[in-house]
Amino acid sequence: MKKIFFVLPGYSRRPIGGYKIIYQYANKLAEDGYKVNIVYLEYNRFPKFSLKWLVLKYWTQNGPSWLKLNRRIKKYTVNSNLSTIEYNKDDVVIASSVETVEPTKRLFADINNKFYFIQDLEDWNVSRDYLISTYNMGFTNIAVSKWLKEFVDKHSKRKTIYLRNPIDIKKYHVINLITNRDPYTIGMLYHKAPYKGSDCTLDTIKQLKSEYPKLKLIMFGTRETPKNLPNWIKYYKNASQATTINIYNSIGIFVCGTIKEGFGLTGLEAMACGAALVSTDYLGAREYALNGVNSILSPVTDYKKLGENIRLLIDNPELRLQLAKKGVKTAADFSWNVAYKRFKSIIFK
């Protein structure tokens, strides 16, 4: 049986959306009896054989804590070469990010079946020219959204395969009835990266507090708690999957002020759990969000309009309920079963 290798840039103790998708594909393959391996590239983290390196290897073998991996999955911490990893030319290797493509090509040079799983336009740490060069390194490119496929197709010699991200609708579903939700309880993901727009979104919600004294905000993220948060805002650092599902089910409205993102899992997850989505019209959200149908969208970076849309749903409970119910139906179409069958047909073709 073929082995499947997923190559990640390094081990993360914090929840990351891109890792989450990779881990779930790995779990499903392992459950089906495939020999699955995860390779963490740790070239620049710590000196090899140092105490910190040994701690990192321990984390690698026993983690991550925020998502349970199938015990049959083998995990490797790689410092410079793959001398301890055995593979055959007919195995499958999947690069998961821009910084893993070149090392994957070098370290797994003899493997014929190389794939590049593209989840965002990752130009925040590399030049645009280098990013585009990774699309032309001989891998089969897979993009998780239509806009990413269009971009990669425009800059590569080979056609990109479109495979939209799924969610686990058996876990992300309505627990607390939509009709029981408090319209003044809002949720959002908090992230320090400027392209996530979190600080502007947070400021927008704070400005609404004077109009709506009952307003409450629940945030989750991987960063330290933002300083000087008022007591009507609660923040969960490194929230587990179960915690985020409970958050989605406790809010009436989920707000996303993103500027640029490949897909945007949290918006879809919130919809699946019955929260009405108020979002910017960034390209990734267009995979599932339709303005006035299952969400309310505003132009990217127009946070005044974003605030007006939050106000609209607070003041119009019937519209909020209508959008939330439609959002649940939309999310039901993004099942893992469909995505996983498609994924296997791609890598084993």
Would the pLDDT of 49 be above 80? Answer: no
Task: Say yes or no: do domains 3-166+335-347 and 178-331 share a fold.
Answer: yes
pLDDT in tens, 6-36: 999 988 888 888 999 999 999 999 999 999 9
Identify the CATH assignment for 3-166+335-347 out of 3.30.750.24, 3.40.50.300, 3.40.50.2000, 3.40.50.2030. Answer: 3.40.50.2000
Q: Which residue ranges make up each domain of the chain?
A: 3-166+335-347, 178-331
Query: 66 falls in which pLDDT band (50, 70, 90)?
Result: confident
Q: What does the pLDDT read at residue 45? A: 67
Q: Report residue 184's pLDDT band, with 50, 70 and 90 as the boundaries.
A: very high
Tokens of 23: 């881990």
pTM of the shown model: 0.92
**In the chain, % of residues over pLDDT 70:** 97
User: Own/partner pairs for 30-35, CB < 8 Å, 24+ apart?
Assistant: 30/70, 30/72, 30/73, 31/70, 33/1, 34/1, 34/2, 34/3, 34/4, 35/1, 35/2, 35/3, 35/4, 35/74
Contact of 287 with 164, CB cutoff 8 Å: yes
The CATH class of the 178-331 domain is alpha beta
pLDDT of residue 1: 84
Query: How far from the centroid of its chain's Cα atoms is residue 57's Cα?
Result: 24
Query: At 65, is the pLDDT very low, low, confident or very high (cuts 50, 70, 90)?
Result: confident
